[in-house]
Amino acid sequence: MLDLGCGDGLLLELLARDGGRRLAGVDLSPESLALARRRPALSGVRLHTGRAQELPFADGSFDACVSHLALMLMGDVERVAAEVARVLVPGGVLACAVGGGAVGGEAFERFVRLLRAVDMEADGSARIPALGDSRVRSREGLEEVLRPAGFGAVDWETVPLDISGPVEQVWDAVSGLYDLAPMAARTVARLREDFLAEVADLVTPEGTVPCGFKVHLASARRS
């Protein structure tokens, strides 16, 4: 099983709990892979620095490929689909999770609105980079990408995730879903202050802020 965009290896660590799996991971970031290599459970896992558009594996190397909130950030997704199809055996499965946005009316939706406003004010080099291909965020769009590469129909399920909690914990969670690194520290500090003020009316008597977002779970089988 291949983890496409494996990052620091958390998903691989979970998959490694089943000792019968032979695992591999690929990621563009050497720093993230260095963190993955520190996980004792991944001592026998093949970890490679590389691009999803040019996978460093032989044809038919894997029975399955998984990707957690990574496929949606990748460019040239047709090439990614072709490479995944190439390294999968016939009948192999691609399974991925892609972001689905805010549940509605809660802290995550307010955070996204504030973030867009701040980002629009920033100079070009300080703006959050636009990543990925929006087609993979819908079932129809993902099928449009995958079918030419030889995949069948896409199975699709939308799952709401509840990340409610104390306001600082919610801030850490929602701000961590985006790459805020291009922004100046003072801009991020202002965004945090604006967010805390914006969600003040949502704080419950127990001191928690309701917050949720959706993910889409998609899978398709290579013919």
Write out pLDDT tens, residues 158-175. Answer: 999 999 999 999 999 999
Sequence spans of domains, the chain: 51-221
pLDDT at 128: 67
Number of neighbours of residue 127 by Cβ within 10 angstroms: 14
Write out pLDDT tens, residues 122-149. Answer: 766 666 666 789 999 999 999 999 999 9
Q: Flag whether pLDDT at 121 surpasses 90.
A: no
Calpha distance 109→124 (Å, rounded): 24
Write out pLDDT tens, residues 65-88. Answer: 999 999 999 999 999 999 999 999
Q: Flag whether pLDDT at 176 surpasses 90.
A: no
Residues 76-105: what's their mean pLDDT?
93
What CATH superfamily classification does 51-221 receive?
A: Vaccinia Virus protein VP39 (3.40.50.150)
Calpha distance 182→36 (Å, rounded): 24
Write out pLDDT tens, residues 25-36. Answer: 999 999 999 999
Q: What percent of the chain has pLDDT over 90?
A: 80
Beta strands of the chain (E only): which ranges? 2-4, 24-27, 46-49, 62-68, 88-102, 155-162, 212-221
Q: Flag whether pLDDT at 102 surpasses 80.
A: yes
Q: Flag whether pLDDT at 99 surpasses 70.
A: yes
**Secondary structure element (H or E) that encloses residue 118, with its range:** helix 107-121
The model scores a pTM over 0.85? yes
Residue type, 39: R
